[in-house]
Structure 1
Amino acid sequence: MVTANDLATVPAEIWGGSVEAWDGSVEAANDEAFRRLNDADPWVVDVRPAREVLPGYRDNLVLTSGAPMPWEAYVGGQREALIGGALFEGLAADRDEAIARFADGSIEIGACHDYNAVGSLAGIYTASMPVFVVENRTHGNVGFCNFYEGKEPRRLNYGCYDEGVHERLEHVNTVLAPVVGEAIRRRGGIALKPMIARALRMGDEVHSRNAAASILFNREILPSVLDMIEDSVPGVRETMLHLAENDYFFLRLSMAAAKASADAMVVPGSTLVSAMAFSCRGFAIKLAGLGNTWFEGPPPIHQGKLFAGHSEDEITWMGGESPITETVGLGGFAQACALSLQDYQGGSPEVMIERNREMYEITHGENSSYRIPLFGFRGTPTGVDARKVLDTAVLPVMDVGLAGRDGGQIGAGVIRAPRECFAAALDEHAKRYGQS
């Protein structure tokens, strides 16, 4: 018979959730899931078009954030982003044709997580878009994330598609990604965990603040860049200038690292959360002990700070999978590392510190690599336990950008996951395992 330890080595996408492989102890299962998460060793090893590296990718496929939904369920900015992705990839000649082809299924929609990937906001992937390839060298699985489009508020992942968005996406495809990919390959891959750990000590939480991590990454690829200049590789200067002025560049690397880390958590019987994401419809989570099943709830609870000229009634939900960072003990779970975020997303240092401390009440352990200087280098709270969320009524907190109903980013803030998805997950856990 397959044992719990044997099954724990199987990637989430092929695990069936067999009850027979469980030894009956939720605590032992959670210990193992936490150990696997804590021991993860993510390395970025390459940059390739999605069609070349995402498992089962097809040229007529557009990926988006959140639990899978039919085309008709997508509304607002997430729907607009899907249409924009189809137009960018040349899957339709115009908006009306794209809508018709989504409706008849000739353009397919997929969920990023089903392809070992994560997407920021609407999370759009098309076949030609370059992705970071991140290997978890401890457990052998791979995670992916696409590229940051740049600091212009109107971006495809924020539900916008126009000539400027198209040009920036083409620039990523033809200039930025080839140079960054070549630099990574020349380095033989780059370890991301120590870089993230150092960035936390320098004022990042690697979700809403990535300034230090982006600088550290630029420094890491500098030897390759200098060699590439000598070899007359095209686009190097342009790429490095882009990286130098975009503090959010590293977010996509932290997301891919978190995805590769969290996917290794699969352990029968565990009540630890292995993914958190949302769509235009609502928020959803996965449990490490329940395989690929999503458990949905209403949209998240939010509070934040809006850019000048915008109001609360403009805020809309169009997806987001960057909370994979909080899933592994970063982002809102390391908020006390990044007190300067108060200027960006509101709040106060006191509130941020208390909010971060609160997360220890709902997590299984403390990360041995990611540490918070303000707390005496205590490890970040890591491994959200769905049972503790319900027992304490403390909801996981996440740092996010806020999207507007007309597209684009209009602010930033914090969200909390809704209670309902944790309750639904534990109900299913009780049915499958007989306890929770």
Structure 2
Amino acid sequence: MTRRSLRDDANQEAYRRLAGARPVLRDIRPAIEVVPRMTRDLVLTSGPLLRWSDYEGGQRRALIGGALFEGLAADAAEAEAKLASGAIRIGACQDHDCIGSVAGIYTASMPVFVIENEAFGNRAFSNMYEGQARKRLNYGSYDDEVKERLDYINAAVAPVLGEAVRASGGIELAPIIKRALHMGDELHSRNTAASLLFAVALFPALLDLPPALRNEVKRVTALLVEDNYFFLRLSMGAAKASAAAIAGIPHASVLSTMGLNCRSFGIQVAGLDGWIEGPLPDPEAKLFEGHGKDEIAWLGGESIVTETVGLGGLAQAAAFPLFSYQGGEPLDMIARTEQMYAITIGEHPDYRIPVLKYRGTPTAIDIFRVVESGITPFLDIGIAGKGGVQIGAGVVQAPLPCFEAAVARYNDHYG
């Protein structure tokens, strides 16, 4: 067989696995109980792993905040000293089958969604959304208010949700994603419909919980129906569980993940090992009132794993309500999605876009098609500010140098 035919066959297998994934929410447990190789002295963060001295800005502050929340240090100065010495270790989320939103902080006690890809038997983990407050740990903020909210998630929200999920026998996520695409979500920057659909799926199990938990169930129910971004961490976990099934396919040139740290943008390719890094992208952003472009800061992020499986920026045409949130024009959103078919292997058989006459979302990004066409994936993102808050939302295109470097590495490896 020629190298091209080997690559084509491998890419078809990668597409088959992405299209056939069956992500199911099985449980909610503390990270230390379920995340592979998680230890009490470990803090996980987003993107390609850096040395402690190379972390800066909000991602550095988030790592310190994670150490303080976990009780690994008494104050910020002690946390910095221990992070510098290695007494507190830093890990990359995706090296532990986790997926990180913005700075992506995971510590041992934090509850995580346990998502199983039933079609291929692999698991992924996603931590819980911190709520609607603008100051959040994953945006690089940590103070008494942030700690109180994280403590509430640990002590009240996660145990009740975990009981309900286990009682339900598991919640299939792909049918929720499928319906949400028909209701204005693209499952990255907009999860309004998916969050409500998830709540509906979980209500029977919540209502069957013991009467002694009634007050907790009321608070959790209110959180589920009021917070339009609750499902984001589930769409990320579902995408990670789906995409992880293609890692290690020899000769495949399909992306298996994307992510950022505070210094670089990185991609991983199914048929290659390790991260391939390039420059940070330039955002096309709509900033919240009172904020300016000089405040934009990069502090990591792996929610763009949703784009890896054909959602998010690749499915913008399904989510016209994003127009009021991240700017642009509806016709631009259609055009972006249509461009993505040129760089993907196929169309998703279940995730479909009504305005495109129910065409499947473009799925399985091929590095060779990206480089040959010069078209890189569109990514929907939240915009972080230097002050540790979200200051807007927008669209970026993945930087082309990453893909050019990936093609060069592929040719070196398989040539």
Alpha-carbon deviation of 1:232? Answer: 3.6
Partner of 1:72: 53
User: One-letter code of the match for 2:374?
Assistant: A
Q: What is the total number of aligned residue pairs between the two structures?
A: 412
Alpha-carbon deviation of 1:395? Answer: 1.1
Partner of 1:124: 105
2:317 equivalent among 333, 336, 353 = 336
* 2:313 equivalent to 1:326: no
User: One-letter code of the match for 2:149?
Assistant: R
1:422 equivalent among 388, 403, 409 = 403
Alpha-carbon deviation of 1:132? Answer: 0.2
Partner of 1:287: 269
1:104 equivalent among 71, 85, 94 = 85
Alpha-carbon deviation of 1:350? Answer: 1.0
Partner of 2:117: 136
* 2:253 equivalent to 1:271: yes
Partner of 2:382: 401
Partner of 1:261: 242
* 2:279 equivalent to 1:306: no
SS of residue paired to 1:209:
coil
Deviations 1:300-332 (A, max 9, x none): 121010000000010010000000000000011
Contact 1:24 1:269 in 2 (8 A): no
The whole-number CA distance in structure 1 between the counterparts of 2:35 and 2:143 is: 27
Give the 5 Å matches for 1:107-256.
Answer: 107-228=88-209, 230=211, 232=213, 235-256=216-237
Partner of 2:327: 346
The whole-number CA distance in structure 2 between the counterparts of 1:173 and 1:299 is: 33
User: One-letter code of the match for 1:328?
Assistant: V
Partner of 2:43: 62
Deviations 1:68-103 (A, max 9, x none): 111111000000000000000000000000000000
Unaligned runs of at least 5 residues, structure 1: 1-21
The whole-number CA distance in structure 2 between the counterparts of 1:38 and 1:288 is: 15
Alpha-carbon deviation of 1:23? Answer: 10
SS of residue paired to 2:134:
coil
Post-superposition, which runs of at least 4 consecutive aligned residues in structure 1 deviate over 2 A? 229-234
Contact 1:206 1:254 in 2 (8 A): yes
Deviations 1:264-312 (A, max 9, x none): 0131001100001001001000001013x10000001210100000000
Deviations 1:362-406 (A, max 9, x none): 111100010000000000001110001111111111111000011
Partner of 1:16: none
2:346 equivalent among 317, 341, 365 = 365
User: One-letter code of the match for 1:153?
Assistant: R
User: One-letter code of the match for 1:352?
Assistant: M
Deviations 1:148-178 (A, max 9, x none): 0001111000010011100000011011111
Moved more, 100-109 or 419-428: 419-428
Unaligned runs of at least 5 residues, structure 2: none
The whole-number CA distance in structure 1 between the counterparts of 2:404 and 2:371 is: 7
The whole-number CA distance in structure 2 between the counterparts of 1:348 and 1:202 is: 18
The whole-number CA distance in structure 2 between the counterparts of 1:259 and 1:268 is: 19
User: One-letter code of the match for 1:85?
Assistant: G
SS of residue paired to 1:58:
coil
1:35 equivalent among 16, 32, 39 = 16
User: TM-score normalised to the size of structure 1?
Assistant: 0.93
The whole-number CA distance in structure 2 between the counterparts of 1:232 and 1:275 is: 39
Moved more, 36-45 or 223-232: 223-232
The whole-number CA distance in structure 1 between the counterparts of 2:147 and 2:120 is: 37
The whole-number CA distance in structure 2 between the counterparts of 1:24 and 1:336 is: 33
User: TM-score normalised to the size of structure 2?
Assistant: 0.98
Alpha-carbon deviation of 1:230? Answer: 3.5
Query: Over the residues paired in the alignment, what is the CA RMSD in angstroms?
Result: 1.1
